[in-house]
Amino acid sequence: MEPRCAGRSCVRARTGTALVLSAALVLSAGQASGQAGSPAGPVPPQLLAARRAALMGRLGTGVVVVRSAEEREDEAHAQDSSFRQDDDFFYLTGVEEAGSVLVGVADGAGGGRWRLYVPERVPAQEQWTGARLGPGAEAVALTGVADVRAAARVVADAPELLAAGGGAGGALWVGGAAPRSCAVRGAGCMDALVAPFAAGAGGTVAPLGPQLAGLRLMKDADELRRMRQAIAITVAAQREAMGSAAPGQHEYEVEAVIEAAFRRRGAERVGFPSIVGSGPNSTVLHYDANRREMRSGDLVVMDIGAEYGYYTADVTRTIPVTGRFTGRQRAVYDLVLGAQQAAIDSVRPGTTLGRLELIAREYMRANSGTICGGGSCDRFFIHGLSHWLGMDVHDVGSYATTLQPGMVLTVEPGVYLPGESLGVRIEDDVLVTAAGHEVLSAEAPRQAAEVEQLMHAGAAPAAAKR
Ligand code: GLY
Ligand code: MN
Ligand code: MN
């Protein structure tokens, strides 16, 4: 089949055709690159400004360079519908445009100024790609950055920016996406964009990521709105999957139900590959081939997360494919559930992820009885209890950080018994609040009886479910 030609460089490669097409093209408002057309809507510019100000408050004198993601390498030959902006760049700008750079000049007193560089609009290319943002008033309004310029100017502007950022006495922080030419993410890569800044910076060259991680741990109002919706979508998908799964289906049929439920509700992509692991696959932690035919008597681990407006959910439920747990499955399930509840009950400001994991393991040690052959089942709990959640499923931030209101974590104990093809994981998303916590995924059935009830309520003849 002929490659479809849609990207910027693709158009460059077919200039003759593109120029003819462009004759009748009028530049329209650039909606695609600023979240304006997305189900989540744009990030309010005042919140973007607050994030940038908070970052400045963490820095001394110097210059910050944050680059956007690039289009895929094969964009010249294929339509690239998989472009996703770099998390840090999106967090600071709300812009989805490739080939862009955000530069900040920190004054050493907690303040500073910002300049955004985005590619110039090219009408001939927009016949293929749709409207782009471009430097101009729209970019100013979307980002709250008053000074927006053409991306082609950034290297030439480097000396001026460095002089404003303290010259030889200032630091250089490098963040955002690593260019394709770099094997190492962050400050280690001195490509054509960063080298002129690095050459003129007198002080240290440091990665910006750790500074931003501290900020991204604490969700602001717009981030929480996005996360609540991502989680609500994921909970709805869990419920649909529970209502439709049946022996004889393949795991990918459950995956299809889940991901259709995501898209119908405005999720733009999955936050991570959906895990639908039945029988032996329930014991494989990141199984995502989803190929097996499910059989009567299987447990099915469904570990899924919709991504909505750049924020992801991460919710796991384990179901009996027949709609009824066996006694043995129920015993393991209730142990994992009890361990999860003990940890969730302990989520509050001041504690740590490490302490929560200890609580879950102590619960298992105290309550395993003979379920795991005499010893504690926690030796079959072979992964960590929690991780931070946000723009990434395993989001940025030190795992040693003390919990504070506004942080979102997962609580996800599991017990995996490969010899019995029996795996159970239960995972919820929890917001730390001043009073303790809120389980954001609470609407997904979690008690074994609730799961069974929903599976029977949603049950239909197997043939109709396929
Ligand atoms: N969904 C991957 C995880 O829970 O870590
Ligand atoms: Mn998780
Ligand atoms: Mn998960």
Q: Please write the tens of the pLDDT for every residue from 117-169.
A: 999 999 988 888 889 999 999 999 999 999 999 999 999 999 999 888 887 77
Q: 74 falls in which pLDDT band (50, 70, 90)?
A: low
From the alpha carbon of 304, which atom of ligand 1 is closest? Answer: 1
* Partners of 275 in the β-ladder: 303
Q: Is the pLDDT of residue 2 over 50?
A: no
- Pocket-testing residue among 234, 315, 316, ligand 1, by greatest number of atoms within 8 A of Cβ: 316
- Pocket-testing residue among 234, 274, 426, 427, ligand 1, by greatest number of atoms within 8 A of Cβ: 427
Give the pair of three-digit tokens for residue 175: 């963040």
Q: 107 falls in which pLDDT band (50, 70, 90)?
A: confident
Give the C-alpha separation, 392 to 73, whole Å. 23
SS3 helix, strand, coil % of the chain, rounded to 5?
40, 20, 45
Name 250's Cβ contacts closer than 8 Å, sequence gap at least 6: 290, 291, 292, 293, 294
- Classify the C-alpha dihedral 405-407-408-414 as positive or negative: negative
Which pLDDT tens digit goes with each residue over 397-430? 999 999 999 999 999 999 999 999 999 999 999 9
**DSSP letters for 434-459:** TTEEEETTTTS--SHHHHHHHHHHT-
Ligand 2 centroid, distance to 290 Cα (angstroms) = 18
Instruction: Output the ligand 1 site: residues, CB below 6 A.
Output: 272, 303, 314, 393, 412, 427
Ligand 3 centroid, distance to 111 Cα (angstroms) = 39
Please tell me the predicted confidence (pLDDT) of residue 35: 65
Among 106, 140, 100, 92, which residue's Cα sits nearest to residue 120?
100
The pLDDT of 82-110, averaged and rounded, is: 93
The pLDDT of 283-308, averaged and rounded, is: 98
Judge if pTM exceeds 0.85.
Answer: yes
From the alpha carbon of 387, which atom of ligand 1 is closest? Answer: 5
Q: Is the pLDDT of residue 73 over 90?
A: no
Question: In this structure, which residues have their CB less than 5 angstroms from ion ligand 2?
Answer: 314, 410
Q: Which ligand is nearest to the CA of 386?
A: 2
Please tell me the predicted confidence (pLDDT) of residue 164: 86
Q: Is the pLDDT of residue 13 over 60?
A: no
- pLDDT, the chain, mean: 88
Give the C-alpha separation, 7 to 76, whole Å. 6
Among 130, 185, 214, which residue's Cα sits nearest to residue 398?
214
Query: Rounded to the nearest 10 degrees, what angle do helices 45-58 and 209-216 cross at?
Result: 130
* Partners of 411 in the β-ladder: 428
The pLDDT of 47-68, averaged and rounded, is: 95
From the alpha carbon of 383, which atom of ligand 1 is closest? Answer: 5
**What residue ranges define each of the domains in the chain, with the CATH number in brackets?**
15-213 (3.40.350.10), 221-457 (3.90.230.10)
Ligand 2 centroid, distance to 399 Cα (angstroms) = 14
Q: 186 falls in which pLDDT band (50, 70, 90)?
A: low
